[in-house]
Structure 1
């Protein structure tokens, strides 16, 4: 994958920036020697053997990692290796991937891609893959420190051009300082390093399927503006391109429904100690069906406030989001039939609806009865969102199955 050199972002940003080329070999060597990382891979790939003969499986995994990553001497080379593996993986866990809109982006120009957020690792990976297909440089990826509870996860993410969002800070002054550093780093990436940035439209995944841009995110982006500058003046400098990422099936759908049910029933949800890592793994290796990634147009309007800017981003994401068969079927399970949704269904002539219904039934059968409405709602909400915005229109005609 094309990657630009990191020519800045030192000193002030050292705690949060991605790794530089000159750090890659040492980080890879550290990962290969990290027993916890090796044991995690062993548990995910060869659980019974790892439990029975851990001393036997560790050197095999270390050897495989050395062969796979040992030749990477730069971020670009690391991402090229990851890109090859990602494409092979998608051949197994996806039924086709469609990219659109990236061909309209200019080469040698940095953008701030703001996308909906359904999967921790795959959302930015799919955006980067779409850019790579057009010969464009990959992005620097914003990732919360709540996901980096293990040293090896931090190393892996920062090798892949991720920078850290300090969400765990609770002190108000420290939190403001961290947000200012984050805002400054994004601006530095775009304007000084000439590096595009990916950031989710909200903090955390949209587990309920409602893709809404948080105004706090947009305010953070202009946190370092001059006092005399208005929000609109500072925001206009940002080359924001909304992106819609759509998966036919969510590998974490049952887990998300369980969390939503717990929050609804008790008001709290206690995550397991390594639940985020498990979600990352399941999101990467679980079956996704058809995937579409659609890039919108760069925002050029003047926005008086964060609320109007958020609405503009949301509108593009709604307009460009591919409504999959799973979404339409889930909406009909919850709400019955409507002329508008029936028209949406009729437009998707390539879908085997009986087969999709069977797949939905099979997934639903794995979910406790009490969770099923929330499970269906997460799939149905993109349809409802489209209806709320475009009640008298039909969506874009999109290919795929």
Structure 2
């Protein structure tokens, strides 16, 4: 007899829990503040509350409310346009494990689901760290939007058990429930623009594998996703955090995460592109040639990275940053003088805003934009 695992402590809410959860959410003081911050006008807030009180399913919530919010409050107000590639090549009726680079706490998965809905596919379940469930309204909001919880910062034995359960949950979603899943390639956002898949993520996914390593990863139908913002979300605060880590041993707080969530939603991001790769099933055969599981995991991480780099869309800012950093004009054909001036202004603002060694800070900010260019070139070699 197969032992049935109880996923209640990590799963999203289901349709039977929508009404009760929304009632609790609408009475939450923190959620009231968020509605006030977003909509300002009380009449509009009352309309939103009325709309939410008549929502009965997760699908209704996402299509009637969240989809419109992403479009109106994020895409139209803080971006200069959204494009995507590759989604039309995926089977709308199949389930996938989307593994992407990670640049923004909320936007990465929210915009991805917006695009998936546009394509006529069902929204994915989203992995979110329990360290981000800072307040009750955040937990309820994400669980109402098909997010499941990744438990972090546990003692070794508990962490292993939690990882096993998480692995079983993701594999069940994809192979038995025909439900797609999104998970970031690493814990925490990339701060320096150098996107790298953590092997610990792949080891976690392999914990629920009952086949050979390659076969187990094939059944997860991994699709690498490349997320590219013209203007790095929270770029100044990312560089500030990196600088403090190197000079002061900076430790991030929950307040820092909360601030990053807010900044990511409202700060300008320029143009945005999501590049969906093809499922890497055939490429996974390459890892079988490696002798040890450790080497196979390492090879798989390299394959995912190469796919993310090759589908990553570069912007004029990436080329400008390289020219400034190297004091050359090699990339002149990739940008205009107006674009150069805008980026230089952004660079100067970052250097002035962050306290510390100005030359080091300047280099860090530039490197954040140059690293994707370096990685893209490597993938084309």
What secondary structure is seen at the aligned counterpart in 2 of 1:274?
Answer: helix
What secondary structure is seen at the aligned counterpart in 2 of 1:163?
Answer: strand
**Aligned: 1:124 with 2:124:** no
**Aligned: 1:324 with 2:315:** yes
Q: Kindly tell me: are residues 335 and 45 of structure 1, through their superposed partners in 2, closer, same or farther at Cα, counting changes over 3 Å?
A: farther
Query: Is the 8 Å Cα contact of residues 42 and 61 (structure 1) preserved in structure 2?
Result: no
Query: Is the 8 Å Cα contact of residues 32 and 65 (structure 1) preserved in structure 2?
Result: no
Aligned to 2:71: 87
Query: Is the 8 Å Cα contact of residues 240 and 298 (structure 1) preserved in structure 2?
Result: yes
**Aligned: 1:296 with 2:261:** no
User: What's the CA shift string for 1:75-116, capped at 9, x where partnerless?
Assistant: 111111111121123122111111110001112110011111
Aligned to 2:18: 24
Distance across 1 between alignment mates of 2:298 and 2:312: 21
User: What's the CA shift string for 1:255-276, capped at 9, x where partnerless?
Assistant: 000000011112x213344221
What secondary structure is seen at the aligned counterpart in 1 of 2:250?
Answer: coil
Distance across 1 between alignment mates of 2:67 and 2:188: 25
**Aligned-pair CA distance for 1:25:** 1.5
Distance across 1 between alignment mates of 2:31 and 2:233: 23
Which structure 2 residues correspond to residues 175-186 of structure 1 after superposition, within 5 A? 175-186=159-170
Among 360, 371, 377, the alignment partner of 1:381 is: 371
Query: Is the 8 Å Cα contact of residues 145 and 168 (structure 1) preserved in structure 2?
Result: no
User: What's the CA shift string for 1:165-214, capped at 9, x where partnerless?
Assistant: 00132x11111110000000001111221110001111111111011111
Where does the alignment leave 5 or more consecutive residues of structure 2 unmatched? 289-295
User: What's the CA shift string for 1:126-164, capped at 9, x where partnerless?
Assistant: 221221121011110001011112111111111111100
**Aligned-pair CA distance for 1:11:** 6.4
User: What's the CA shift string for 1:339-388, capped at 9, x where partnerless?
Assistant: 5xx2xx63x5xx5x222222222222322335222111111110122233
Query: Is the 8 Å Cα contact of residues 100 and 293 (structure 1) preserved in structure 2?
Result: yes
**Aligned-pair CA distance for 1:17:** 0.6
Aligned to 1:361: 344
What secondary structure is seen at the aligned counterpart in 2 of 1:246?
Answer: strand
Alignment TM-score, normalising by the size of structure 2: 0.89
Aligned to 1:67: 50
Query: Is the 8 Å Cα contact of residues 131 and 254 (structure 2) preserved in structure 1?
Result: no
Distance across 2 between alignment mates of 1:44 and 1:66: 13
Distance across 1 between alignment mates of 2:76 and 2:195: 27
Which structure 2 residues correspond to residues 3-152 of structure 1 after superposition, within 5 A? 12-42=6-36, 63-80=46-63, 81-89=65-73, 90-152=75-137
Distance across 1 between alignment mates of 2:141 and 2:348: 35
Query: Is the 8 Å Cα contact of residues 132 and 254 (structure 2) preserved in structure 1?
Result: no
Distance across 2 between alignment mates of 1:140 and 1:211: 22
Aligned to 2:216: 234
**Aligned-pair CA distance for 1:60:** 6.6
Which structure 2 residues correspond to residues 116-265 of structure 1 after superposition, within 5 A? 116-169=101-154, 171-226=155-210, 229-265=211-247
Q: Kindly tell me: are residues 388 and 76 of structure 1, through their superposed partners in 2, closer, same or farther at Cα, counting changes over 3 Å?
A: same
Distance across 2 between alignment mates of 1:186 and 1:334: 42
What secondary structure is seen at the aligned counterpart in 2 of 1:308?
Answer: helix
Query: Is the 8 Å Cα contact of residues 32 and 62 (structure 1) preserved in structure 2?
Result: no
Distance across 1 between alignment mates of 2:313 and 2:51: 35
Aligned to 1:6: none
Tell me the C-alpha RMSD between the 2 structures.
2.1
**Aligned: 1:281 with 2:243:** no
Aligned to 2:292: none
Distance across 1 between alignment mates of 2:215 and 2:28: 47
Alignment TM-score, normalising by the size of structure 1: 0.84
